Structure 1
Amino acid sequence: MTDQGMILQLYKILFTTTLLLNSTHISAEEVIPSPAAPEDVVITSTPVNEVSIVTVTNSSWEDKNLPYSVYAQPYKISLFDTANGEDGERLWSQTKSVAWYGVGVAGFLAVLPSDITNWETSDERLAEKWWDNVREGPVWDRDVWYINYIGHPYFGGVYYQSARKSGYRQWDAFIYSALMSTFYWEYGIEAFAEIPALQDLVVTPVLGWVYGEWAFNQEKDIIQGGGTVWGSEALGSTALFFLDPVDSIGHGINQLVGKQVVIAGTGYVGIQEVSLPNGSSETQVKINLRYAMGSGKGNSTKARSDMYNAAGADDPVDFGIVGFSAGYAYLNLDDEWGLENGWAPIFSLGLYFSPEFSSRLSYSRGEMKEKTSAEHIVYENYSVDMQYYFNADNDLRPYINIGLGEALKDQDRDIKTFQGNAGVGIYYKLDRNWALQFDWQHYYGTKFSANDDLASGQVIYRFGNGER
């Protein structure tokens, strides 16, 4: 299609939009022009409250006029069937891009000092080293805090947005992030350099969900505000890049070569009730398109389809199911450890799937006094646990807990034991975001036949809207 033809088509779309913005009773047949739209754009129309809505491919999940039956099984994974109109082609294109970009990230980490990354170097053949690391994992790693708890959630959020901006629900986007962080990174690229880390397997997708949804909405706000931050287009462009570098790099590649190599961008259809000067109101639709035309190569290139829906979704599962807790625990340790009993901080990160069920990664670390030398020795305990809550309709909920994990002495992987644990607790909901819990857990260590008890009190914070 020639540039002149594309401009004519764009005018037709703008004309259609103008009609929509000024009418609430025009049918789809009257509104949608019959000629084809520009490349990469498909125009459809759906009546909502007697207003015809124009939607664009690569639109976000909320743009689709979905039946509520979609949410009847909120934890059903629809990542692989695209039954609800998700853009699987875009996600596959983004996945291939991430795979190539990850090689560059791995190269950057490889040149960093080993005391930062804890990546080991050896003359062992790569395939053998990868297999040895995979067999030994997962372990609790010793990376610096900003890699484990800032870097990993950031990249988890990058994975998350690849699916979220391809039209998938939050739950599907989280599953995609978990698959990518586990099999592509931890048991893929990073396993060539170090043993897969347990906390990275959990923290990357879980906190990546929280960050990714926040970044997803921040990008919406920036785009809807004209692409500026504090009135600066330069700051706006920089922010958009760091919020979703994969998508931004995809746009850059497409513009560089003059055609769509990477399927990038998403869809925005803003629907809002607007007050009129006469005191009444009307529903208005906003569509935002930006194209780069005239590349000289005979192709129209989609520079950025910066379109998001301003309305919220009906999806009952969002990042509010993610919860973080912190508190203190009293450790009553078996004599096999040779350590005196004492207090230690305890933390957990989990998914609160429903008022009846949750799953958490818990970690406790304290400096305990050794009985023979009186020296202070680090004792660590971590486990992946599941909780079942009784009396779920009320704020006060007794629960049972069961899990598996390990305990370490003096940060020495040779002085550790595999543990199974079980216990009981009480959960008290303060409001949608905050709760208290008190519990007792008994741990049995297989290596030393150690029997340890841990009693703790913690404050829990649920992100976003919390419990719904």
Structure 2
Amino acid sequence: MDFSKNNTLFSKSKFRISSLTLALSIASFAVSAQEAKTSEDIQLKPAINAENIDDIYREQITNSRWENLTPHADFYNSPYQISLFSPENGEDGARLWSQTSSIFAYGFAVIGMIALLPEDISNWDKEEGIFNKWSDNVKDGPVWDRDTGMLNFVGHPYFGGVYYQVARKSGYRQWDAFVYSALMSTFYWEYGIEAFAEVPSIQDLIITPVLGWTYGEWAFNTEMDIRESGGKVWGSSALGSTALALLDPVDALSVGVNNLFGKEIIRAGTGYVGVKDIVIDNSGRTESQVQLNISLQLGEGGNYSPKQYTRSTRKDDPVDTGIVGMSYGVGHVALDDHWQVEDGTTTEYSLGLYFSRSFSSRVSYSKAQLNQLASNDKIAYESYRLNGQYYFNTQSDWRPYVTAGFGEIMWHKDNDHKSFQVNAGAGLHYKINNNFALQVDWRHHYGTNTSTSEDAVAGNLIYFFGDGER
């Protein structure tokens, strides 16, 4: 069903909400005057256009989609500009601030509750003082943590995606939502809430927002899919409600708070509306359509869900999850005699952002079990580094590059046995297709504290998320 800007008549509809809930959900649809022939069709007026649409629906729909907004014509000339603090394209800064405030309130309320618990339950030394512990942890970090893979690669990306959803559903583009997630995971969580309990983690500072971006965008689109199917999963409303709460717990919790107090304390709920030019034939002719994404929970919880849907998508934003790359590979390290450890084969991992064909930045990690020369006993070797890469011959699938950065070499899986290093090197990137690439590189590492030198080579298979390289 389609709303056409110039030829559609609408009649006013008022809903009396007898319960405390007004849940707006993603059910993208448009109603056309030609189709409004049965009692089941909804007709609204006055006619909606780009100028009055905000006034008509603003009180009902609390979120928006970047894909339904119209940025300035030259917006993408600077694809990595940040609009988070100066929304000028229709992004909903008020909704973002409202939900951000709620997140801080929830988090610090939990800290306050834990502080009131007995020490044998909270494991907090009250004589030391929780703020002294927070200060000490912040000063000691960040460090390479020893958390499990489940926590690092499932738990942290999930919460990164939760932060991401707050901005994405407030009308911000993917890049701004990623920046928001990075700020929240860094200052609210790692150096905020979690620092009351432990030292901030290097992996968490990177993994939470970066993989949170990929999960969050998936969750954002999955939520729309569920709402377009009437809020059901496998035909079950209960499973649908559970899935929606897990996909966006901040919004679900905020709706619950509003219901509890019987008024809108936090801007919450899900729905989308926008005006967009749609191509209607092969000649390229377009018409302006109003796309309304709304479902209202009424009375005892009955839902209105339209029968036909359209979803607008915009492919002209050059920055999406396709710039996120994750790799796995093998390498070899030749160590300085200072360490009295044999050279050996390493396992390689990396996670990074490939901003363009010319530049990328990634965190890489190497590990191995090597032999000590004196005793022949095994010793755990680890190395991590934050590097930038600059590529040449960018229009080709074969791209030489140079790389440089810094990191640490670590022994015994113990942060007390580590040494700061700088490194530089060169490599070759081969594009297999948009989602996969191979890289081989050589690096020279120099320990500034120990005056040691290591050489390392590595080969990695890189996977790019989403649609991959543009």
Specify the TM-score bucket, using the shorter chain as the normaliser. 0.7 to 0.9
Q: CA deviation at 1:283?
A: 9.3
1:88 is aligned to 2:93: yes
Which of 151, 154, 170 in structure 2 is aligned with 1:150? 154
- Give yes or no for contact 2:405–2:422 (8 Å, CA) kept in 1: yes
CA distance in 2 between counterparts of 1:421 and 1:398 reads 18
Q: CA deviation at 1:293?
A: 5.8
In structure 1, what residue type is equivalent to 2:212? Answer: G
Higher mean alpha-carbon deviation, 257-266 vs 346-355, is at 257-266
Per the normalisation by structure 1, the TM-score is: 0.82
CA distance in 2 between counterparts of 1:344 and 1:304 reads 57
SS at match of 1:241: helix
Instruction: Indicate how the Cα distance of structure 1 residues 37 and 384 shifts in structure 2: closer, same or farther if over 3 A, else same.
Output: closer
1:42 is aligned to 2:44: no
Instruction: Indicate how the Cα distance of structure 1 residues 8 and 283 shifts in structure 2: closer, same or farther if over 3 A, else same.
Output: farther
Per the normalisation by structure 2, the TM-score is: 0.81
Higher mean alpha-carbon deviation, 437-446 vs 254-263, is at 254-263
Quote the residue 2:142 is aligned against: 138
Q: CA deviation at 1:311?
A: 2.0
SS at match of 2:224: helix
- Give yes or no for contact 1:266–1:305 (8 Å, CA) kept in 2: no
1:423 is aligned to 2:425: yes
Q: Deviations along 1:111-147, whole A, 9 cap, x unmatched?
A: 9xxxxxxx98685222222222212211101122211
Percent of aligned positions with the same letter in both sequences?
A: 53
Quote the residue 1:114 is aligned against: none
Instruction: Indicate how the Cα distance of structure 1 residues 203 and 268 shifts in structure 2: closer, same or farther if over 3 A, else same.
Output: same
CA distance in 2 between counterparts of 1:394 and 1:264 reads 47
1:209 is aligned to 2:213: yes
Instruction: Indicate how the Cα distance of structure 1 residues 21 and 69 shifts in structure 2: closer, same or farther if over 3 A, else same.
Output: farther
SS at match of 1:31: coil
- Give yes or no for contact 1:19–1:31 (8 Å, CA) kept in 2: no
Quote the residue 1:265 is aligned against: 269
Aligned 1:36-185 pairs, distance under 5 A: 41-42=57-58, 58-103=63-108, 123-185=127-189
Q: Deviations along 1:336-382, whole A, 9 cap, x unmatched?
A: 11211000101000000000000000000110111111111101000
SS at match of 2:14: helix
In structure 1, what residue type is equivalent to 2:422? Answer: G
CA distance in 1 between counterparts of 2:115 and 2:352 reads 31
1:310 is aligned to 2:311: yes
Instruction: Indicate how the Cα distance of structure 1 residues 17 and 138 shifts in structure 2: closer, same or farther if over 3 A, else same.
Output: closer
SS at match of 1:213: helix
Quote the residue 2:416 is aligned against: 414
Aligned 1:6-21 pairs, distance under 5 A: 6-7=14-15, 18-19=31-32
SS at match of 1:344: strand
Structure 1: unaligned runs, 5 residues or longer: 10-15, 44-54, 112-118, 276-281, 296-300
Structure 2: unaligned runs, 5 residues or longer: 1-11, 18-28, 37-43, 117-122, 281-286
Instruction: Indicate how the Cα distance of structure 1 residues 447 and 122 shifts in structure 2: closer, same or farther if over 3 A, else same.
Output: farther
Q: Deviations along 1:184-203, whole A, 9 cap, x unmatched?
A: 11111111221111110000
- Give yes or no for contact 1:323–1:351 (8 Å, CA) kept in 2: yes
- Give yes or no for contact 1:20–1:284 (8 Å, CA) kept in 2: no
Q: Using CA pairs below 8 Å that are at least 6 residues apart, which structure has the higher relative contact order?
A: 2
Higher helix residue share: 1
Instruction: Indicate how the Cα distance of structure 1 residues 160 and 305 shifts in structure 2: closer, same or farther if over 3 A, else same.
Output: farther
In structure 1, what residue type is equivalent to 2:173? Answer: R
Q: CA deviation at 1:315?
A: 1.2
CA distance in 1 between counterparts of 2:202 and 2:279 reads 50
CA distance in 2 between counterparts of 1:38 and 1:400 reads 50
- Give yes or no for contact 2:156–2:207 (8 Å, CA) kept in 1: yes
Which of 21, 31, 47 in structure 2 is aligned with 1:31? 47
Q: CA deviation at 1:103?
A: 3.9
Q: Deviations along 1:58-84, whole A, 9 cap, x unmatched?
A: 221111233442222110001001111
Q: CA deviation at 1:414?
A: 2.1
Higher mean alpha-carbon deviation, 318-327 vs 127-136, is at 127-136
Superposed CA RMSD: 3.7
Q: CA deviation at 1:335?
A: 1.3
In structure 2, what residue type is equivalent to 1:312? Answer: T
In structure 1, what residue type is equivalent to 2:69? Answer: K
Quote the residue 2:332 is aligned against: 330
SS at match of 2:433: coil
CA distance in 2 between counterparts of 1:393 and 1:105 reads 52
- Give yes or no for contact 2:365–2:384 (8 Å, CA) kept in 1: yes
